[in-house]
Amino acid sequence: MSKIRESALLRTILLALPLCLLASCKQPLEPLRVGTNVWPGYEPLYLARHIGLLESERVRLAEYPSSTEVMRAFRSRSLDAASLTLDEALLLVDMGVPIKVVLVHDVSRGADVILARPGIEKVVDLSGRRVAVESGALGAYMITRALQKSAMSIDTIRISHLDVNQHESSYAAGEVDAAVTFEPFSTRLKTLGAQEIFSSRELPDEIIDVLVVHEAVYEQRLEDLKYLTKAWFESLDYLANEPEKSATVIGRRLKLQNDEVLASYELIHLPSLEENAEILQNGQRKLDALAKVMQEHGLVREGLSTNQVMSTHALP
């Protein structure tokens, strides 16, 4: 072979080499970043990780002290997905954040509560009292609906804007008379003497926890989302079949006894895959009704569009 032909062949190989490297050495995607606050309805995610259903190379779970901080991290794109209540998801839509709701974690049936000091027997007794509310999250919706059902306005109580992880210390210090809260914080407040005066039982199917993802993540990483939701439903099966083992794992994280963990699950409903598909496919009316209530109380702007927020495509 002549030197000219050798030189030409070498140039061809060198030119083709970067293309080969690009084709064979594609950079792997970062793990899907999923954020939650502390709540029994989200614990099957951590249970899934514990029993080996979620590989850290594909999904990274991050726990935050409050849903306010979860929302902040999601908005800043520190998270790809976040576990939030449906009303919190609508707050994101109101803020102009493009999202998709791809999974229903749970429906609260008494697990979200308003607890108050002895002597405060019902919501109307909160008049003039100091109430701890996580105002940028579920707490704002919960207290608004409770007051509405008692024909009271928000001006009749004194709001203390506190993240849910601050409620216990504020109550113990005598700084608040009541708190809008949930497990595991409600059990700790009851230990301090607080008593229930209102719960999500009085708001049937209004307090729903969902998995929210950025629209771009939904479009680009659907297979990873399906991997995550598959692990979720397998974890629910494990929880149902191995309640004591599951409660031990969850109890360590929530700092609750096994019986307290299992009691908390009696107050929430964990929808099956089939129920998820039905809710996500036919939930537009429920979503519109929730948005209307929030609009009536100034929690979101008038005319908020909720079309095509829910999707079944990330279900396994």
Question: What is the Cα–Cα distance from 304 to 132, expressed in whole angstroms?
Answer: 28
Task: Identify the pLDDT of residue 25.
Answer: 47
Task: Identify the pLDDT of residue 35.
Answer: 98
- Residue, of 178 and 303, whose pLDDT is higher: 178
Phi, psi (deg, nearest 5) at residue 254: -85, -10
Task: Identify the pLDDT of residue 27.
Answer: 54
Q: What is the pTM of this model?
A: 0.86
pLDDT tens digits for range 222-280: 999 999 999 999 999 999 999 999 999 999 999 999 999 999 999 999 999 999 999 99
Task: Identify the pLDDT of residue 7.
Answer: 52
Q: Which residues contact 260 (CB under 8 A, 6 or more apart)?
A: 184, 187, 251
Q: Which residues contact 157 (CB under 8 A, 6 or more apart)?
A: 126, 127, 128, 129, 130, 131, 143, 147
Stretch 9-23: mean pLDDT: 48
Hey, what are 18's tokens? 């970067």
Task: Identify the pLDDT of residue 144.
Answer: 92
Stretch 188-195: mean pLDDT: 95
Would you tell me the crossing angle of helices 243-254 and 222-241 to the nearest 10 degrees?
110
Confidence of residue 137 (pLDDT cuts 50, 70, 90): confident
Q: Which residues contact 258 (CB under 8 A, 6 or more apart)?
A: 244, 247, 248, 251
Task: Identify the pLDDT of residue 28.
Answer: 61
**Torsion on CA atoms 283, 288, 294, 295, rounded to nearest 10:** 170
CB 160 within 8 A of CB 175: yes
Question: What is the Cα–Cα distance from 102 to 100, expressed in whole angstroms?
Answer: 6
Question: What is the Cα–Cα distance from 26 to 23, expressed in whole angstroms?
Answer: 6
Cα→Cα distances 9→3, 16, 19, 220, Å: 10, 11, 16, 39
Task: Identify the pLDDT of residue 215.
Answer: 97
Q: Is the pLDDT confidence value at 178 over 90?
A: yes
CB 61 within 8 A of CB 36: yes
* CA quadruple 211, 212, 216, 219: dihedral sign: positive
**Residue 269 one-letter amino acid:** H
Stretch 155-168: mean pLDDT: 93
Strand partners, 211: 83, 103
**Which domains does the chain show, CATH number per domain?**
32-107+207-296 (3.40.190.10), 112-202 (3.40.190.10)
Question: What is the Cα–Cα distance from 40 to 37, expressed in whole angstroms?
Answer: 10
Q: Is the pLDDT confidence value at 190 over 60?
A: yes
Q: What mean pLDDT, rounded, does the chain reach?
A: 91
